[in-house]
Amino acid sequence: MILKKVIKFTKTLEDPKNPLLGPTLKGLYLFGLWPTGNRLRVMFFNSIHIFTVFFIFSEILDLYMVRNDTNKVLNNMSVSVLSVICFAKSYSCNIRHKLWKKLTESISEEEKLQINKQDPVIMKYIHGYTKYTRIITYGFWVLVFVTNLLLILTPFIKYATSQSYREEIEMGIEPLPQILCSWFPFDNTRMPGYIVCLFVHITMGTEGSGVLAAYDMTAVAIMSYLKGHLMILRDKCENLFTEISSPQEVLERIKECHRHHTVLVQ
pLDDT in tens, 7-28: 777 888 888 899 999 999 999 9
Strand ranges, E, within 200-239: none
pLDDT in tens, 131-168: 999 999 999 999 999 999 998 998 888 888 888 888 88
Task: State the pLDDT at residue 239.
Answer: 83
C-alpha to C-alpha distance for 210 and 86, rounded to whole angstroms: 9
Q: Report which of 246, 180, 207, 257 is spatially closest to residue 86, judged by C-alpha positions.
A: 207
Task: State the pLDDT at residue 1.
Answer: 63
The answer to whether the CB of 77 falls within 8 A of the CB of 70 is no
List the domain boundaries for the chain.
Answer: 2-225
Task: State the pLDDT at residue 200.
Answer: 92
HSE on the CB side for 84, CA within 13 Å?
A: 9
- Is residue 150 exposed (0-12), middle (13-18) or buried (19+ Cβ within 10 Å)? exposed
pLDDT of the chain, 266 residues: tens digit per residue: 676 777 777 888 888 899 999 999 999 999 989 988 788 998 999 899 999 999 999 999 988 888 888 888 888 888 888 889 999 999 888 899 999 999 999 999 999 999 998 889 999 999 999 999 999 999 999 999 999 999 899 888 888 888 888 888 888 777 788 888 888 888 888 888 889 999 999 999 999 999 999 999 999 999 999 999 999 999 988 888 887 777 888 888 889 888 988 888 87
- Is residue 245 exposed (0-12), middle (13-18) or buried (19+ Cβ within 10 Å)? exposed
User: For the CA atoms of 205, 208, 214, 215, what is the dihedral angle to 10 degrees?
Assistant: -160
- Report in angstroms the alpha-carbon separations of 36 from 101, 181, 214: 10, 32, 16
C-alpha to C-alpha distance for 140 and 188, rounded to whole angstroms: 33
Q: Using DSSP, state whether 117 is helix, strand or coil.
A: helix
pLDDT in tens, 124-137: 999 999 999 999 99
The answer to whether the CB of 76 falls within 8 A of the CB of 63 is yes
